[in-house]
């Protein structure tokens, strides 16, 4: 039976942690003896994921929370629950990993009236980052890692299409949400320039998971199954998340986009400061927050 490695303990919250990249990263972090707060959409899948990790590491310091992050009320409730947990454990939050994502070929609306991919892939991470920022500020080197994709390089912000059913194409909506991940990361760092909290976007590469078959069908699902066979294992893709999470407080890098444990070149449209500022304003409005929402947070 595997044993837990003795490394400096961190407290890490990771969303989308019941399968694929999120499950692999949770397992690897648990193996290092970190305090892992993992999030899944429903209790059954959370229980299955926890059992899988504990089968390898019975003494894992692991807690699973349930939340459907397509709903903002559940994102807010998750933040409050996590803050309560951190208070009881007398811990700060060292790393937040915004990993949850979905891909859908048809237009779907959340309970908040928002397009599903934009809500899950971008707004959930935006809102959770804002709500947990105070706890990240308590860490010597708080980190916000957001899982994006190289597909952001082949798209620009189409403000008329964001969240719209007009001429909806699932792949375009997915790419826009991944571009939003980078623009959010850029704007977070601009607004947190005098803070020890740093934000990084991560390209995990092509991963051999089923994300492209869960809410699709026909030719799309067939194509994804064939393409994903060439992908990395979730454990290989998790390396960059682990690498960035374990960096010491005195580690410095001007880069904010990483792939394969090294800086990568973001797409040109991801470097637009006007788009980053505008997207921040739109995101805050859609989440019912003021533009200066980083001055607040959840105290638990």
Q: Give me the phi and psi of 158, to 5 degrees please.
A: -110, 95
CA pseudo-torsion sign 124, 126, 130, 133: positive
Nearest CA to 53 out of 235, 204, 232, 236 is that of 235
- CATH architecture observed for domain 11-287: 3-Layer(aba) Sandwich (3.40)
Q: How many CB atoms lie within 10 A of CB 99?
A: 25
Report residue 169's pLDDT band, with 50, 70 and 90 as the boundaries. Answer: confident
Reported residue count of the chain is: 300
Known catalytic residue at 174: yes
The pLDDT of residue 172 is 87
The pLDDT of residue 1 is 58
Among residues 57, 174, 200, 257, the one annotated as catalytic is 174
Rounded to the nearest 5 degrees, what angle is found at the Cα of 76, between the Cα atoms of 105 and 280?
65
Q: What percent of the chain has pLDDT over 70?
A: 85
Better-scored residue on pLDDT, 104 or 61 = 61
The pLDDT of residue 105 is 84
Report residue 236's pLDDT band, with 50, 70 and 90 as the boundaries. Answer: confident
The pLDDT of residue 118 is 94
| Token digits of residue 290 | 């003021």
Is residue 215's pLDDT more than 60?
A: no
pLDDT tens digits, residue range 270-293? 999 999 999 999 999 999 999 999
Q: Are 299 and 83 in contact (CB under 8 A)?
A: yes
List alpha helices for 192-264, DSSP H: 218-228, 234-245
Question: Any idea which residue has 């070929």 for tokens?
Answer: 105
Query: Counting Cβ atoms within 10 Å, is residue 250 exposed (0-12), middle (13-18) or buried (19+)?
Result: exposed
Better-scored residue on pLDDT, 160 or 208 = 160
Report residue 168's pLDDT band, with 50, 70 and 90 as the boundaries. Answer: confident
| Token digits of residue 285 | 């409005």
Better-scored residue on pLDDT, 223 or 51 = 51
The pLDDT of residue 216 is 43
List, as one string, the DSSP characters of 130-187: HHTHHHHHTSTT-EEEEE--GGGGG----TTTTT--TT--HHHHHHHHHHHHHHHHHH
Q: Which of 67-71, 180-184, 222-226, 295-299 is the least confident region?
A: 222-226
Report residue 57's pLDDT band, with 50, 70 and 90 as the boundaries. Answer: very high
Nearest CA to 52 out of 25, 23, 10 is that of 23
229 Rama class: left (phi>0) / alpha (psi -120 to 50) / beta:
alpha
Helices (H) and strands (E) in the chain, counts: 10, 8
Mutual orientation of helices 170-191 and 273-286 as an angle, nearest 10°?
100
- DSSP summary character for residue 40: E
| Token digits of residue 130 | 């804002």
Q: Which residues does 118 contact at the CB level (< 8 Å), separation at least 6?
A: 162, 163, 173, 176, 177, 180
């Amino acid at each position: 039976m595997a044993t837990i490695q003795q490394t400096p303990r961190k407290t890490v919250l990771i969303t989308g942690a019941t399968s694929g990249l999120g499950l692999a990263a949770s397992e690897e972090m648990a193996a290092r003896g970190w305090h892992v707060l993992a999030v899944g959409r429903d209790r059954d899948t959370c229980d299955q994921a926890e059992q899988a990790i504990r089968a390898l590491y019975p003494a894992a310091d692991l807690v699973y929370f349930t939340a459907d992050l397509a709903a903002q009320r559940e994102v807010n409730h998750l933040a409050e629950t996590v803050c309560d947990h951190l208070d009881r454990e007398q811990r700060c939050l060292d790393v937040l990993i915004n990993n949850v994502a979905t891909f859908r070929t048809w237009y779907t609306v959340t309970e908040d009236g928002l397009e599903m991919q934009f809500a899950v892939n971008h707004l959930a991470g935006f809102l959770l980052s804002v709500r947990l920022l105070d706890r990240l500020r308590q860490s010597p080197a708080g980190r916000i890692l957001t899982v994006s994709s190289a597909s952001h390089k082949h798209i620009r912000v189409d403000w008329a299409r964001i969240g719209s059913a007009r001429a909806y194409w699932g792949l375009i909506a997915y790419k826009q949400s991944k571009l939003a991940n980078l623009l959010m990361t850029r704007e977070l760092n601009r607004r947190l320039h005098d803070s020890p909290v740093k934000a990084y976007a991560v390209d995990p590469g092509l991963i051999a998971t089923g994300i492209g078959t869960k809410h699709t069908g026909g030719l799309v699902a067939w194509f994804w199954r064939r393409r994903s066979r060439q992908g990395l294992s979730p454990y290989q893709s998790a390396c960059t998340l682990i690498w960035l999470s374990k960096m010491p407080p005195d580690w410095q890098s001007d880069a904010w986009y990483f792939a394969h444990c090294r800086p990568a070149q973001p797409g040109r449209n991801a470097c637009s400061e006007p788009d980053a500022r505008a997207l921040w304003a739109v995101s805050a409005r859609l989440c019912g927050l003021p533009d200066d929402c980083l001055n607040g947070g959840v105290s638990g």
